[in-house]
Chain A
Amino acid sequence: MAHAYTPGLRVAELTVVRKERRLPLPGEVLVKLGAHVKAAQVVARTELPGNVESVNVANRLGVPPEDVPQCMLKKEGDSIEKGEVIAQSKSFFGLFKSSCQATVTGTVETVSSVTGQVLLREPPLPVEVRAYVDGIVADVLPGEGVVVETPATFIQGIFGIGGEIQGQLVMVVASADEILDADRLTEAVRGKVAVGGSLVTAAAIRKAIAVGAKGILAGGLHDKDLREFLGYDLGVAITGNEDKGVTLIVTEGFGKIRMAEATFNLLKRCEGMECSMNGATQIRAGVIRPEVVIPRQDKQPTNEEAGEGAGNMVVGSQVRVIREPYFGRLGTVSLLPSELQRIESETMVRVLEVRFGDGTQAIIPRANVELIEK
């Protein structure tokens, strides 16, 4: 077998990025096909049904549940104000009436003669979807949202924390193996995305939040620092909803790992440009990786954006080793033997031979490398 299928992370100097911006429920699309949109612009809007409160009217009035409908002053569908009387008991000669007030402003949803409960629904909650990247509306999904398209530099990370942000890229280290420590960050990164080298420390994350940086990009992060940042030990890699004051993406993994030279140099060339960044990561079926999109509307890519970071590995492919003992090293595939081989852990697996930059070679399980995609 001369090639193998291996997923990889996508790092592209120039490609076409298409972002589907969908509402969680049907609603209204606010922009037209072909329109130019800015990242922060609202492109679609809807309303989520409001929260529901239940009121045990039967208990409050001291009547059996089957009498509740007759006691109601408001019917299903009526509007109500918080504190307004919605039900009243009929009493002896009109004396000693008990009444029940609305606990929220909204509408009466249901009145039950079985349980004596009345459900009140609060007003709808507005939900807005923004464009996320500067670009043009390439497609309108009626009632659902839009697809925003732009030529862009596109970099996928391996793991992230925090949601969508926009900001200007600032290099705060000089090389891909430098550590991003707190002293690299000053007021100058306020509202911006700081790019580090091999590791971002816990102190640097704290400082980034303190000086108001919007995002951090680095090669690696220690698990202990992630725990300190989140306040808990992350069990399953489903992230993106954290509200920690900064969005963080690592490109290589956990530990101190030099950022891939190509990634670092590409970010360096984009210094000063506005980027959109999302830390959302989901490592399950339907994998989602964190990403940095740097719109380049002045450029025209020659080829369309390829698939979802997957491709064929052949002799000559550039790969990154993603497990010990060569974790983080980059090299070129020099051999793809088809027969299974016994490795040190005594496991029989398919392997490849990789030649590293310093000329040394190693045999590595195929499952332990990823393609570096151009």
Chain B
Amino acid sequence: MAEETQLNLTELTSILATDCGSTTTKAILIEREAGEYRLKVRGEAPTTVERPAEDVTRGVLNAVGEVEELTNRSILDGEVIVKPFSKDKGVDIYISTSSAGGGLQMMVAGVVKSMTGESAQRAALGAGAIVMDVLASNDGRLPHQQIERIRNLRPDMILLSGGIDGGTTTHVAELAEIISAADPKPRLGHGFKLPVIYAGNKNAREIVQNILGDKVDLFVVDNLRPVLERENLGPAREKIHELFMEHVMQQAPGYAKLMQWTDVPIMPTPGAVGLIIQTIAAQHGIDVVGVDIGGATTDVFSVFSGTFNRTVSANLGMSYSVSNVLAETGLDNVMRWVPFDMDELDLRNRIKNKMIRPTTIPQLMEELIVEQAISREALRLAFVQHKSFAVGLKGIQQERTISDTFEQKSTGETLVNMMSLKLLVGSGGVLSHAPRRNQAAMMLIDSFLPEGFTHLAVDSIFMMPQLGVLSTVHPEAATEVFERDCLIHLGTCIAPVGPARPGKPILELDIELPQGTEHVAMEFGQLRLLPLGVGEKARVRARPAKGLDLGGGKGAEVSEEVEGGVVGIIIDTRGRNPFVLPVDARERVPKLVEWIKALDAYPVEALSHR
């Protein structure tokens, strides 16, 4: 990191940010003009952590070079980023994120898998790590199996938790003994000791120190679950970030140099995305879900009632993992989104060919439709995993009143509430680069099934990582650019919850559009699109039928101001809780065709293709 200079935030004019991904390094230049921060340009170049360059800064310089070309002004003086900005040269600050070299790979350990084990997992995931395994005293494995596992996985670091303060020390000692017996070596950097963070029962610190002190690089932080009723993930997360910089990044080629260049610590890419999602949720006081569907993995981020959660679905993705999506969900679940028949042998071969040649793109419309069908299932499964992980703390005592006896809720219920969700942001090639934005909107709606009123957006050029790290320096600048330049607003989805019979009138709306008020009557099982442009707003008064809920309660009228976007207002009365697609293809295909036409998602001729 560059020398600690006091950054004068009010005078920040020019901000350079990079994200060093596994394959591409992306640089963005943000500048303040007429009092507001805007994205100026974006440049990219291949990441250079592997041979022949083996120096991440080469890719950074190439990406910044492209920014220089596009803006026609200089930022570099030779191989030095000129700071501060002066006379149309240089930038005020330079910040970066990184997921190159496989990102941050961790193992976590806790005494009880569903309690401290899960808290440790949340701490690591929130810091942007890939959690390779969760060790727990009750995970059903024998000690030698756990030891074997630690040895085989070779994590970048281990987070050891366990026991509330003043609670068990024996089980924590057992876990420490297992780690000690495995004598783990870090993935990168031969001759270094593996960093282990201890964030468990404070009474066991000395014991853990005695068992592990000589074998690993041990760091002790506050207990991440000091009492059963409360998590304290901050200290563990901060230590993970610090060690990521000092240990993991230092071993990656060129990072020691890159760390000298940046004005604030380099963050793991997903950790930074999590930060921008949290910043947006906090600034607007809303519940937000963000999803990033990549080639190998799908990350889901959420903030509900102020609680942040992140999950990584390691083998759900659109290229390297595309075949795994099929293996997990089954062919029928993919084909239920495809409005024509395909030969199974041929389809399976095509999907496997995408897996072994992951960089290819669909040339034919039918192939695009199939890929987008697979993406719906990948997103759906990733969100199912997220919902089961983003839960309240388990194992806590609850105070019950008489009225609670009629509504018995167990601990550990999901925090995800689709009715309170106000913003759903998608990113990743299949969403951000869908040829028609209407396709991105439809994929998000079909896989997440938003309820009530939900604004939809996609991250146009995957700027969320850079904006996340910027939010640690200048939250306002990060939010301004996020809303104006990062997001492509698709529009708002309006979906009532509840069952009804197909064809039954279930919703009436009066929508005050810029061109006048429109009255819309919807039957169960329909989709309808009304244009409402980017930046435009409309007041919607909606009256769901008895038994259906739009956020105001069953059958209650709701009035809400909605925002438009490149797609518009999408009214979805296909049902929620449950959302059911007809099983019989003779019934389902005509419905799919009807919905696709309503949203103008694909050209009509492609639908009658086979």
Which of A159, A224, A234 interacts with B345 by CB under 8 Å? A224
> Are the C-beta atoms of B320 and A364 separated by less than 8 Å?
no
- The reply to whether the CB of B143 lies closer than 8 angstroms to some CB of chain A is yes
A255-B353 in contact given A115-B170, A115-B173, A367-B361 (Cβ < 8 Å) = yes
**A325, B315: Cβ atoms under 8 Å?**
no
Task: Tell me the number of A-to-B contacts counted with CB atoms below 8 Å.
Answer: 154
The answer on a CB contact under 8 Å between B365 and A368 is no
Bitwise interface map of A from 99 to 111 toward B, beta carbon under 8 Å scored 1, else 0: 0000000000110
Instruction: State A323–B328 Cα separation when bound (angstroms).
Output: 24
Q: Which residues of B contact A285 (CB under 8 A)?
A: 22-23, 50, 102
User: Considering only CB atoms, which chain A residue lies closest to B170 in the complex?
Assistant: A115
- Stretch touching chain A among B176-184, B482-490, B540-548, B591-599: B176-184
Kindly list chain B residues whose C-beta atoms are within 8 Å of the C-beta of A286: 50
Closest 7 CB pairs of A and B: A235-B324, A346-B435, A345-B368, A223-B348, A255-B349, A254-B352, A254-B349
Q: Which of A284, A348, A367 contacts B360 (CB 8 A)?
A: A367
Give the CA-CA distance A286 to B328 in the complex, in Å. 25
Chain B CB within 8 A of A343 CB? yes
Residues of A close to B181: CB separation below 8 A: 52, 109-110, 119, 121
The contact string, 1 if C-beta is below 8 Å from chain A, for chain B 343-355, is: 0011011111111
Output the least CB separation between B473 and chain A (Å). 30
Least CB distance, B326 to chain A, in whole angstroms = 7
In the complex, the answer to whether A253 meets B363 with C-beta atoms within 8 Å is no
Contact in complex: B356, A325 (CB < 8 Å): no
B476 to chain A, nearest CB (A): 34
Inter-subunit contact A323/B435 (CB<8 Å): no
Residue of B350, B353, B357, B367 with most chain A CB atoms under a 10 A cut-off: B353
Tally of contact residues, B, Cβ under 8 A: 54
Q: How many residues of A sit at the interface, in one of the four size bands?
A: 35 or more
B359 adjacent to chain A (CB < 8 Å): yes
- If over half of A's interface residues share one DSSP class (helix, strand or loop), that class is named, otherwise mixed; here it is loop
Nearest chain-B residue to A157 (Cβ)?
B356
When C-beta atoms are compared, the residue in chain A nearest to B190 turns out to be A26
> Would you call A222 an interface residue if the criterion is a C-beta within 8 Å of the partner chain's C-beta atoms?
yes
A117 to B352, CA, bound (A): 48
- Closest-by-CB residue of B relative to A49 is B183
Taken together as a complex, chains A and B put the C-alpha atoms of A327 and B352 apart, in Å, by 13
A212-254: CB near B (< 8 Å → 1, else 0) gives 0000000000111010000001111100000000000000011
Q: Beta-carbon contacts of A341-374 to B below 8 Å, as 1s and 0s?
A: 0011111110000000000000011011010000
In whole angstroms, how far apart are the Cα atoms of A283 and B355 in the complex? 8
Whether B349 contacts A347 by the Cβ 8 Å rule is no
Assembly CA distance A158 to B348 (angstroms) = 17
Contacts of A119 in B (CB 8 A): 143, 177, 181
- Please tell me if A69 contacts chain B, counting CB pairs below 8 Å: no
* A residues in contact with B207, CB < 8 Å: 114
Closest B residue to A255 using CB positions: B349
Q: How many Å lie between the Cα of A343 and that of B435 in the bound state?
A: 10
Contact A65 B170 (CB under 8 A): yes
In the complex, B257 has a CB within 8 A of chain A:
no
Which residues on B sit within 8 Å (CB–CB) of A298? none
Q: Quick one: which of A53, A65, A283, A324 contacts B356, CB cutoff 8 A?
A: A283
Docked pose: A7 CA to B296 CA in angstroms: 19
Cβ of A173 within 8 Å of any chain B Cβ, yes or no, is no
| Residues of chain B within 8 A of A7, CB atoms compared | 359
Which residue in A52, A226, A343 is a CB contact (below 8 Å) of B144? A52
Cβ of B97 within 8 Å of any chain A Cβ, yes or no, is no
Judged by a CB distance under 8 angstroms, whether A51 is at the interface is yes
B357→A322 contact, CB < 8 A? yes
In the bound assembly, the distance between CA atoms of A264 and B545 in angstroms comes to 68
Residues A52 and B328 in contact, CB atoms below 8 Å apart:
no
A345 in contact with B358 given A114-B207, A223-B349, A286-B50 (CB within 8 Å): no
